[in-house]
Amino acid sequence: MDGLFAPVEGTWQPVSPRLATVRRILLVPLLVALALAGLVLVVLRLGSWTTVLGAALLVTGLAGAGWTWVWAGRNQRSWGYAENADDLLVTRGVMFKRLVAIPYGRMQFVDVEAGPIARAFGIATVTLHTASPETAAEIPGLPAAQATRLRNRLTELGEARGAGL
């Protein structure tokens, strides 16, 4: 069913495509390095076992790198958030889809964080915390200005509608 993960009202705001780029930069070189290490083992021909190990590394590394490349794009496109009148809605996932709705008044605090590469690309992750540890409401890949704006708006709304515990 298509409408299952539609926002309750309005449309989903997408996150920045730079999220996929950042994730690729973080993960793909590692996997490629793994594949290269495997290649070296295969070329050196130290013995049958190391050759088999090298071939395995080469294949896993290359396959992993290719899969990560595709996954990063698909996953980035699956994220979305919507600021409704009373709740913040966040959706994500391609295979395992989720939709979380958090009433603004339930918010305890908001985190904004960005790693070095994310900062270089000007994106950040905004995480909303409630009293429940199950509420996993993070929005990665927000352009820095938008992240700050969202944090301020959420804090404002949280204070205005704060309902305590």
Partner 1 sequence: MAPVSDVAAPEIAGLRTHPLTAVVQGARWAAAASVGLVGSIFTGDGWGDLNPFLSLLAALAGGLVLGLLLGFVSWRFTRYVIDGAELRISSGVVTKASRRIPYERIQSVDIAQPLVARVLALAELRIEMAGGRDSRTSLRFLRLADAATLRQVLLSRAHGEEVEAATEEHRTAITVVPPERVVLGTVLSLDFLFAAVGSVALVVLMIWFGQVVVLLGGVLPLASWLGQIVAHRVLQQWDFTLSRGERGLRIERGLLSRTSQTIPFARVQGVAVKEPFVWRRLGWQRLEVDVAGYAEHDSEQQEDSSSTLLPIADRVLAAAVIDELIPGTTTADLVRTRAPRRSWVFAPIGWRNRWIAADDTAFVAHEGWVQRRTSIVPHSKTQSVELRQGPLQRRLHVATVEVHTPKGPVDADGRHLDEHDARAALVAQLERARASRA
Residues forming contacts to partner 1 in the complex (CB under 8 A) are 1, 3-5, 8, 86-87, 95-103, 105-106, 108, 130-135, 137, 161, 163, 165
- 43 conformational bin, left if phi > 0, alpha if psi -120 to 50, beta if neither: alpha
**Which distant-in-sequence residues (6+ apart) come within 8 Å of 51 by Cβ?**
41, 42, 45
Cβ 54 to partner 1 shortest distance, Å:
34
User: In whole angstroms, how large is the CA radius of gyration of the chain?
Assistant: 21
Cβ 68 to partner 1 shortest distance, Å:
19
Cβ 93 to partner 1 shortest distance, Å:
8
How many other CB atoms sit within 10 Å of the CB of residue 123?
Answer: 24
62 or 101: CB nearest partner 1: 101
116 or 160: CB nearest partner 1: 160
29 or 93: CB nearest partner 1: 93
123 or 139: CB nearest partner 1: 139
Residues 33, 17: contact at Cβ < 8 Å?
no
**Which distant-in-sequence residues (6+ apart) come within 8 Å of 149 by Cβ?**
none
Cβ 103 to partner 1 shortest distance, Å:
6
